Amino acid sequence: MRVRARGFSILAAGLLALAAGCAGAPPPNHNSLAQARLSEAETRAAALARSGDFPGAARHYGEALRIATSLENADAIAANAINLSIVQQWLGREAEARAALAAVLDDPRTPFSERRKLQAELRRAILELATGNIGAAAVWAGQAERRCATTSCEYAATLLNVRAQVELDSGHAAEAARLAQAAVERSRGAAGRAETANALRTLGRARHAQGEPAAALAPLKQALELDREIGDPRKILADLAELARAADAAGDAAAAKDYKERGQAVSRAMNDARGSGEAMLTR
């Protein structure tokens, strides 16, 4: 199983109110039925993603995207395209993940909100980072950052963290540590625990890259604690992998072994959960 340490949480589609608003409208028409199908597909996709059945989630997010496109619902198109891209990335399908984002990034006619455009640009930056395309990641992050500066933006901490990862993957560990620390401070004020954990993980990686593995342990342990509170196995696995590497480099073989074994246990449990989800889908 590939560990994607840079993974971010699924963006909520937020379209349940559309289906609920049609529930008491007699008689039902084509659009109300389509909106109900849209809500059903989104709800099923989110449930499958939570259960670890990512192929099933991808199918249902794809269906939701098709329905949203048929309704010319700009917000639903963007939300489901972004969610589909995230799940495809988790499955290791980078080309499909880019193709999903193209529904927003390559469509100049649909009136997407600035917030949705920014989310799609940020997701593209994260995707390019995960696949090692550092230059492209920097370009998309810069585009998102410029859009963020002109709106009431809730993604400042995320952008700092993405910039930190770009610097780290470019070999600039000191600048990466500075940006990651700024992301930690910014996220604690507004962005929430998940983004704080992302920033702490990046800070730990940066300190390790600076040749300070012992100093990397504290932020990595904090990231692990937050991710355990949130309940995100993917992030827990990433934290444990980074802790194992840092502990080993710091000369603590026993701790490194413990972190590695814990990571293997988490990975096995994730694979078991995914198998259970796929079995439920076929029943």
Q: Strand, helix or coil at 35?
A: helix
What ranges in the chain are assigned the alpha helix state H?
Answer: 16-22, 30-51, 54-70, 74-90, 94-105, 114-130, 134-149, 156-169, 173-186, 193-209, 213-230, 233-249, 253-282
In the chain, where the domains are located: 184-276
Mean pLDDT by 10 residues, the chain (283 residues): 36 28 39 90 93 93 96 96 95 96 96 95 94 94 93 88 94 96 83 87 97 97 95 92 98 97 94 51 28
pTM of the predicted structure, to 2 decimals: 0.79
Q: What is the largest CA-CA distance in the chain?
A: 71
Q: How much is the pLDDT for 80?
A: 96
Q: How much is the pLDDT for 150?
A: 86
Q: How much is the pLDDT for 50?
A: 86
Q: Is the dihedral of CA 201, 204, 209, 214 positive or negative?
A: negative
Query: Alpha-carbon distance 148 to 153, whole Å?
Result: 5
Q: How much is the pLDDT for 234?
A: 87
Query: Alpha-carbon distance 46 to 218, whole Å?
Result: 33
Query: Alpha-carbon distance 111 to 170, whole Å?
Result: 35
- Evaluate whether 264 touches 42 at the Cβ level (below 8 Å): no
Q: How much is the pLDDT for 273?
A: 61
46: how many CB neighbours lie within 10 A of its CB?
18
Please identify which residue in the block is written with the tokens 């609920």: 20
Q: How much is the pLDDT for 275?
A: 52
Q: How much is the pLDDT for 191?
A: 52
Q: How much is the pLDDT for 1?
A: 37
Q: Does domain 184-276 bear CATH number 3.30.830.10?
A: no
Q: How much is the pLDDT for 57?
A: 95
The tens digit of pLDDT for each residue in 204-255 reads 999 999 999 999 999 999 999 999 999 888 899 999 999 999 999 999 999 9
Q: Output the DSSP codes for 138-205.
A: HHHHHHHHHHHHTS--S-HHHHHHHHHHHHHHTT-HHHHHHHHHHHHHHIIIII-HHHHHHHHHHHHH
Could you give the count of Cα atoms lying within 13 Å of 99 in the half-sphere of its Cβ?
8
Q: How much is the pLDDT for 21?
A: 27
- Evaluate whether 109 touches 44 at the Cβ level (below 8 Å): no
**Mean per-residue pLDDT of the chain:** 85
Please identify which residue in the block is written with the tokens 């002109």: 150
